[in-house]
């Protein structure tokens, strides 16, 4: 009779924690900045005054004005329009890669932390190799092998993010192996996979969610870095890193706007994602 009452109490407590966490989150400026970035992603075709790949050779390197709010670049592209449309390139690629990494790292880390043994050893060696290899060299090797495409870019980010979640989830699950409710589930006849999926994995979801936006910010910065050196997203697709690369040559001539505004977009989006992730982490630590 006590088990249902205990479960009901936990349900009410978790609901209260969720409402309290949401109330704290909406008071963080980064949360509303992130909402704005997502809004731009959805509304870019309605906001942008020009097409993202529509260049005007007669309007090269025009400074910011009423006609071109952020000026134009060396190809005659409207910088403002391309900055807006680039959210539809950078943000989906970064978020999709983190989602796939979580779908792989969460169950793998849970199984490694609970079962241990040979699977844990293989998983740990994989994470050590993945985190030890230089990221840029790894990306260059993958692009050389599989070609330059957004699918390849997503795959690179997945491989780089999986070790992060695998290690995190493993560290959360390992202390739970001797927990009373895990022992009770084991004595009730539940198999390893049942315990992993129904009892151990849910306990790792909260730290995973708090890390999610931070990983997305890392993904956006890496996408921009790879595109800046000619990998990742290529012209004429709008992408913040490639836009900075296009405008970098003009900085010495005082043509700052083609690089400045996409750089600001990267900084603002990263601030929003990291700020939300840090606040979620503080909420998790406060509730424990």
Q: Going from the N-terminus, what domains does the chain have, and what CATH number goes with each?
A: 2-287 (1.10.3720.10)
The answer to whether residues 50 and 81 touch, using CB atoms and an 8 Å cutoff, is yes
Contact predicate 137/232, CB 8 Å: no
Contacts of 48 (CB under 8 A, 6+ apart): 78, 80, 81, 84, 85
Distance CA 203, CA 165 (A): 13
The CA distance from 143 to 137, in Å, is: 10
SS3 72: strand
Angle at CA 261, nearest 5°, toward 260 and 265? Answer: 120
H runs (alpha helix) in the chain = 2-25, 29-47, 79-115, 117-132, 135-146, 150-173, 180-187, 192-195, 205-228, 240-248, 257-287
Neighbours of 59 (CB within 10 A): 17
Tens digit of each residue's pLDDT, the chain (288 residues) = 333 333 334 444 444 445 576 778 888 899 999 999 999 999 999 999 999 988 888 889 999 999 999 999 999 999 999 999 999 999 999 999 999 999 999 988 888 887 778 888 888 888 888 777 788 888 888 888 888 888 899 999 999 999 999 998 888 888 777 777 777 767 776 766 777 777 677 777 878 888 899 999 999 999 998 888 888 787 788 999 999 999 988 888 889 999 999 999 999 999 999 999 888 888 776 655
């Amino acid at each position: 009779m006590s088990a249902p009452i205990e479960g009901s109490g936990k349900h009410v407590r978790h609901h209260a924690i969720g409402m309290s966490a949401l109330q704290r989150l909406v008071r963080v400026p980064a949360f509303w900045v992130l909402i704005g970035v997502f809004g731009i992603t959805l509304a870019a075709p309605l906001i942008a005054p020009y097409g993202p790949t529509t260049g005007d050779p007669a309007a090269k390197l025009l400074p910011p004005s009423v006609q071109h709010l952020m000026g134009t670049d060396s190809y005659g592209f409207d910088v403002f329009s391309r900055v807006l449309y680039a959210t539809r390139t950078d943000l989906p690629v970064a978020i999709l890669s983190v989602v796939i990494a979580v779908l792989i790292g969460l169950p793998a880390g849970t199984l490694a932390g609970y079962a241990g043994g040979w699977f844990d050893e293989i998983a740990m060696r994989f994470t050590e190799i993945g985190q030890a290899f230089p990221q840029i060299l790894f990306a260059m090797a993958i692009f050389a092998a599989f070609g330059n495409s957004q699918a390849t870019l997503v795959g690179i980010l997945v491989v780089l993010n999986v070790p992060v979640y695998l290690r995190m989830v493993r560290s959360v699950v390992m202390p739970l192996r001797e927990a009373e409710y895990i022992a009770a589930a084991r004595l009730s006849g539940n198999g390893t996979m049942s315990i992993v999926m129904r009892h151990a994995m849910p306990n790792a979801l909260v730290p995973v969610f708090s890390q999610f936006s931070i990983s997305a910010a890392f993904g956006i910065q890496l996408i921009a870095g790879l595109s800046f050196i000619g990998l990742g997203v290529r012209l004429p697709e709008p992408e913040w890193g490639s836009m900075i690369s296009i405008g970098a040559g003009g900085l010495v001539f005082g043509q700052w706007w083609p690089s400045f505004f996409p750089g600001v977009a990267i900084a603002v989006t990263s601030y929003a994602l990291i700020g939300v992730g840090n606040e979620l982490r503080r909420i998790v630590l406060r509730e424990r």
